[in-house]
Amino acid sequence: MLQPPKKKKKKKKKRGHLFCNEIIIIKYSKMSSTNEPVKYLTADDHIPCKRCQAEDSVLVSRKEPFCKKCFLRFIRGKQRRQMNHEKFKVKYNKTAEQPERILLAFSGGLSSLVLLDIMVSLLKEQKEMHRDRQGFELLIVAIDESNLKAFQNNISDIITSLAAYMDFQINYKILDINNFFADSHLLKTITIDEDYSAWCSSIQHDKTYTYQDIVNMCPDKSSTEDVLSIIFSKLLLTTAEAESCQTIIYANSMTRLANEVLAMIVRGRGAEVHQKVSDSVQKYNGKEIEVIFPLRDVLFAEVEAYAQLTGLESYMLQEVNPKSGKIVRNMTVRDLTTGYFKNLDATGYASTASTVVKTAEKLGETRSKQDRLCSFCGTDLQKDPEEWLRNITVSQPAPLVTEEDHNNYAEYLSSSLSHHKGAAHDQRLPLGVCYGCMVTLRGGGSQANSIVWPVAESNSSDQKVLDEYIISDE
Amino acid sequence: MVEKQKKIKPGALCELCHGRKAVMKRPKNLQKLCKECFYNVFETEIHNTIVGHELFKKGDRVAIGASGGKDSTVLAAVLKTLNERYNYGVELVLLSIDEGIKGYRDDSLATVKRNQKQYEMPLEIVSYKELYDWSMDEIVSCAGIRSSCTYCGVLRRQALDRGAAKLGIDHVVTGHNADDVAETVLMNILRGDTARLESSCSILTQSSGSPIKRSKPFKYTYQKEIVLYAHYKKLDYFSTECSYAPEAFRGTARELLKSLESIRPSCIMDIIYSGEHLVLGQKKKVTQQRKKPNKIKNDMEQEVRSDGSIKIKQNETKDGNRCEKCGYITSNRICKACLLLGGLEANRAKLDIEGNTAVDGAAKLTRTLEKLAF
Ligand code: SF4
Ligand SMILES: [Zn+2]
Ligand SMILES: [Zn+2]
Ligand SMILES: [Zn+2]
Ligand SMILES: [Zn+2]
C-alpha cells in the first residue's frame, strides 16, 4: 500500500499543484530530475540501502533509498500482497483436475513486461521451495495490433526472447483482433439517431468486417480508442473462458488506473468506474472470472524504474512512429488525461494518482441501475440516458416566420439533403445502449451514426418481445 | 431580383429549421444554427431544467445572485423571459454582493444597477464591509492573495443567505453553469473529496437547518453558449475578471476541461452525467450501519438529486446549531466566517499596536497567519 500522504505534508502537496497550470497542454516541459517521483542515484552518492543496510542505493522512491535487489523485492511484494489468495499458492494435496489458471493480458508495454517478470519470479520461487510444484499456470495473451499500427518488433519474438532471458517456459497465445468480428451472423448495424434513440438492424452477411472497417465508422479518435478498449476486454474475457482461466490479471499501474478513472468520467462512464477499477468478479457465459490488477499500488514511474534496473525495457514493443503528442486537436481523451498525470510534479504525481484510485474504490452501484446490459459494451444500463440528453439538448426549431424562410424550407425539402431521412426504418428494432456508448458511437456532434457490431442474441424470448414492442419504458 | 439574392444554399441553412441562414455553430454539439433556433434551444433547455426539477412554484419569490458578470446577467434575462413566456408566476429580485474589490466589483455593480432598470427587478446589495467590517481588499492585504477565494467563498455564502433573509426570500438562484459543475466533478475526484462527491451535481441544495435553498438553473448550460446568447441579445454585462487569481488547483482542472472540450464538445455534459452517477459504495454504508442505534436523531438535511429523488441525510445532534458569535447556522460552535475573521481580527489588532504597516512586515504576518489558519 502506498503510504497515505501524511497530514503534515498537506501544505506541500497543494503547492505542488500550482505548477500544473502551465504544463497540461502543449508545453510538455519535463520536470527537472530532482523533482521526479523516482530519483536515480549515482555511484558517487554512496547512500546505503535502508532495507538491507549492505548495498549502496540506486534510487529513491517514496522518500526511501533502495538498492536494486531491495527495490525489485519491494515492487514484487506489491503483487504478492494483491494476489495473496490461497488459490494461487502451491497445494500438495490438490486434485489434479482443475489447476488454477491465470491469464496475463500482455500488451508489450513496460507494465506488462514488469508484471510478467514478477509473475515468473513468483513461479520460480514456488518451484524452488516446493520441489518443482507451481501454485498456478500462467497463460500470456496478447492482442496482435500489427495490422493497426507499424511496429519495429513483434509480440511473439518478444515473448520468445523473454522466455530465454528469464530461463522459463512461457505459454502464450496471440489473438487476431479481427476475431471479434468473425462470427458474421452476430453482426448487426447499431445506429444512434439524432434524437439519441438506439436501433439495431441486420446487415448483408456476404461481407466480412475487419477492425479497420469498424474504425472507419467511428466518428473520431477518442471513439476509436474507446471501441478498442471494449474489444480488448471482451476478447480477453472470451479467451479466459475458452482457455479455462479463472483469473485475468492486468498490468495497469496505479497511475494508469487513475488515468482510466478520469477518462471514464470524461466519457460519461462514471457509473462503471467502481467495477472497472476495483478487482472484481465478472460473469461470462455463466462462468465467473476474477479480474485483478496486481500492480495497483505501483506508480508508473516505479514500473519504469523496475524495467530499467532489470533491463526489461529493451524488450518493449516499439511503434515505428510513436505519437508525438503535441497538438491538442489530434489527441484523444486518454492522451489528455495521461498528460494531466504525467505533468504533475513528484508529490502530486504520487498523491493524486493514489487519491483518485482510492476514491474510485469507494464508489458503488447507482440507484438508477436497470436490470439490463448495454448491447454494445455490456455494462449495466442506467435509467433513460437518451431522455436525459434530449432534455438538455433540445432539437426543436423556432417557428419559421417570413415567406422567405418558408421558401428556403421548401427548397430544402426538395433538395437531396433531406432525402436520406425516413429511409428503411421499418426493419429496425430498439436497442439498449448506455450513455458512454452513445457518446462513443455518435462522437460529440449532432449527427446520427452507425457502426457494425456483434450483438449477442438475447436468450430470453420474453426479452425479445419487450425489446420489440416497448418503445419507452415510461 | 431581391428574392433571388436572398436565397440561401441548402447547405448554409440552419440545421434545425432549414429555413433561415445558419449564423453560428452551437458549442454543445457543433450544430449549425440560426439565431432564432439558438435562442429557442438555449431557453428551452433551461426551461426543461427548471420544470424537470420543479425549481419554482407559483408565487415564489426568488433572488438572483447577480454579480454583473455574464452568467448572472444572462440568468436574469432568461429567467425574466421564461417567467413571462411560461407563466411561472415567480417574483424575481436581484441580490448582489459587494465584496469590496476595487476596479472589479465597483464597476460590475454599476452593471447590475443598469440591469435592475432594464429588467425592472428590485435590487438588494449586501456588502462585506457592512456585514463583516472587512472588504476583500482589506482581507487580501492582510491574509495574502493566495487564500483570497477561500475567504471570499465562505463570506459570500453567508452574505447571500443574509441578503435573502433580509428580503424575506428563501430561494437564491446562481449563475453556476455546466462548465463549473463539470470542473467541480473533476476536482472532487482528483482530490478525493468523497463528502462532496454525491452532492456536487445536485441542482438544488439546502444545508442543514438553513431556510435558504440554492439552485443552478444553468447546470446544463455551456459557458460558451451563455457568452453567445449575451452577444446576440446584446446584453450589458461586465467581463473583467476578479483581480485575485482563482484557486490554483481549480485552475488545473479547468485547463484539462478546456482541452477536452476542444476535442469533444459533449464532454462537459458527459462529465456531469458521470458526476450524477457517482455514488459512494456499500463499504461506507456498512460502517454507518454500525452507528445506527444513536443515529435515529434526525433529519432535515434534504437534497434533491438530479433525478428528482430526495435524499435525506441523517444528521447528528448538530442540526440547527447557531454560531455563538453571529447566530449564523453552523454545525460547529463558531461558524466558518467568524473563525476566519477572528484570525484576521487578531492580525489587524497586532498591526495597529505595532503601527507598522510596512509591506514586508505585512507579508511576514501573512505567512504566519496562513500557517495558523490552515
Ligand atoms: S475570484 Fe476569488 S476573490 Fe475574486 S470574487 Fe471570486 S471568489 Fe472572490
Ligand atoms: Zn538493499
Ligand atoms: Zn455501453
Ligand atoms: Zn433555425
Ligand atoms: Zn458566526
Distance A110 CA to ligand 1 centre (A): 45
Is B55-277+301-308 a CATH 1.10.3720.10 domain?
no
- Verify that A235 and A284 share a domain, yes or no: yes
Which among A322, A343, A361 is the end of a domain?
Answer: A361
* Residue B33 CA neighbour count, 13 Å, CB half: 26
* Residue A181 CA neighbour count, 13 Å, CB half: 19
Nearest-CA residue of chain A relative to B41? A394
Structural domains of chain A, count = 2
Which among A361, A376, A406 is the end of a domain?
Answer: A361
Backbone φ and ψ of B189, nearest 5°: -70, -45
pLDDT at A418: 57
Which among A66, A94, A127 is the end of a domain?
Answer: A66
Q: Which residues of A299-315 are buried (b: 16+ CB within 10 A; e: fewer)?
A: bbbbbbbbbbbbebbeb
Residue A192: its H or E element: strand A187-192
Report yes or no on A137 lying in a domain.
yes
Whole-number average pLDDT of chain A? 85
Is the C-beta atom of B246 inside 6 A of ligand 1?
Answer: yes
Residue to test with chain A: of B24, B259, B311, B372, most A Cβ within 10 A: B259
Report yes or no on A307 lying in a domain.
yes
**Are the beta carbons of A270 and B220 separated by less than 8 Å?**
no
For chain B, strand residue ranges (E) read 24-25, 32-33, 61-65, 91-98, 123-127, 171-173, 204-205, 213-215, 279-280, 301-304, 310-313
Nearest to A79 by CA among A88, A91, A67: A88
Cβ neighbours of A1 (radius 10 Å): 9
Helices (H), B86-147: 105-119, 128-132, 136-143
Q: B319 labelled as ligand-binding? A: no
With beta carbons less than 8 A apart as the criterion, state whether A219 and A449 touch: yes
Domain ranges of chain B: 55-277+301-308, 342-374
- Verify that A356 and A215 share a domain, yes or no: yes
| C-alpha span between A129 and A466 (Å, rounded) | 58
Of A52-61, B43-52, B248-257, the range with the lowest mean pLDDT is B248-257
- Verify that A162 and A43 share a domain, yes or no: no
Of A114-118, A151-155, B9-13, the range with the lowest mean pLDDT is B9-13
Which of A25, A385, A417 is nearest residue B259 as measured by Cβ atoms? A25
- Verify that A45 and A182 share a domain, yes or no: no
Helix (H, G, I), strand (E, B) or coil at A64: strand
Report yes or no on A415 lying in a domain.
no
Distance B127 CA to ligand 1 centre (A): 14
Report DSSP state, residue B224: H
Nearest-CA residue of chain A relative to B35? A398
**Are the beta carbons of B280 and A400 separated by less than 8 Å?**
no
Quote the minimal CA–CA distance from A265 to chain B in Å: 5
Of A113-117, A248-252, B139-143, the range with the lowest mean pLDDT is B139-143
Of A156-170, A256-270, A317-331, B226-240, the range with the lowest mean pLDDT is A317-331
- Regarding an ipTM greater than 0.90, the answer is no
- Verify that A175 and A321 share a domain, yes or no: yes
- Verify that A153 and A178 share a domain, yes or no: yes
| C-alpha span between B288 and B282 (Å, rounded) | 10
The string of pLDDT tens digits covering residues A173-199 is 999 999 899 888 889 999 999 899 999
**A316 pLDDT band (50/70/90 cuts)?**
very high
Of A21-30, A72-81, B97-106, B285-294, the range with the lowest mean pLDDT is A21-30
- Verify that A115 and A217 share a domain, yes or no: yes
Contacts of B269 in chain A (CB under 8 A): 268, 389, 392-393
**Atom 2 (ligand 1) nearest CA:** B149
Beta bridge partners of A174: A142
Whole-number average pLDDT of chain B? 82
Kindly state whether B280 is in contact with chain A, defined as any CB-CB distance less than 8 angstroms.
yes
CATH number at residue A233: 3.40.50.620
Kindly state whether B185 is in contact with chain A, defined as any CB-CB distance less than 8 angstroms.
yes
Residues spanned by the domain of A172: 76-191+204-361
**A94 pLDDT band (50/70/90 cuts)?**
low
Cell of A382: 442506467
- Verify that A81 and A171 share a domain, yes or no: yes
**Are the beta carbons of B273 and A262 separated by less than 8 Å?**
no
pLDDT at A369: 84
Q: Is the pLDDT of residue A357 over 60?
A: yes
Distance A50 CA to ligand 2 centre (A): 6
Contacts of A25 in chain B (CB under 8 A): 255, 259
Contacts of B279 in chain A (CB under 8 A): 363-367
Cell of B164: 435573502
Greater confidence, A97 or A338?
A338
Task: Report which listed range, A321-330, B78-87, B130-139, is most confident.
Answer: B78-87
- Verify that A85 and A108 share a domain, yes or no: yes
Nearest to A252 by CA among A294, A196, A286: A294
Cell of A71: 527495490
Mean pLDDT of A460-474: 57
Which of B260, B274, B309 is nearest residue A333 as measured by Cβ atoms? B260
Quote the minimal CA–CA distance from A409 to chain B in Å: 4
Report yes or no on A404 lying in a domain.
no
Q: Is the pLDDT of residue B165 over 60?
A: yes
Greater confidence, A292 or B248?
A292
The string of pLDDT tens digits covering residues A408-456 is 999 888 886 555 554 456 678 899 999 999 999 998 788 899 999 998 7
With beta carbons less than 8 A apart as the criterion, state whether A245 and A87 touch: no
- Verify that A45 and A148 share a domain, yes or no: no
pLDDT at B11: 81
Is the C-beta atom of B137 inside 6 A of ligand 1?
Answer: no
Report yes or no on A143 lying in a domain.
yes
pLDDT at B49: 97
Greater confidence, B297 or A361?
A361
With beta carbons less than 8 A apart as the criterion, state whether B325 and B334 touch: yes
pLDDT at A207: 80
Q: What are the contacts of B136-142 at 24+ separation with CB within 8 A?
A: B136/B99, B136/B100, B136/B101, B136/B105, B136/B244, B137/B100, B137/B101, B137/B102, B138/B100, B139/B344, B140/B244, B141/B362, B142/B344, B142/B347, B142/B348, B142/B351, B142/B362, B142/B365, B142/B366, B142/B369
- Verify that A138 and A275 share a domain, yes or no: yes
Instruction: Classify the C-alpha dihedral B147-B151-B156-B158 as positive or negative.
Output: positive
Nearest to B39 by CA among A409, A195, A402, A397: A397
Percent of chain A with pLDDT over 90: 59
Q: Is the pLDDT of residue B75 over 60?
A: yes
Ligand 1 atom nearest B245 alpha carbon = 1
Cell of A271: 457509473
- Verify that A116 and A264 share a domain, yes or no: yes
pLDDT at B364: 40
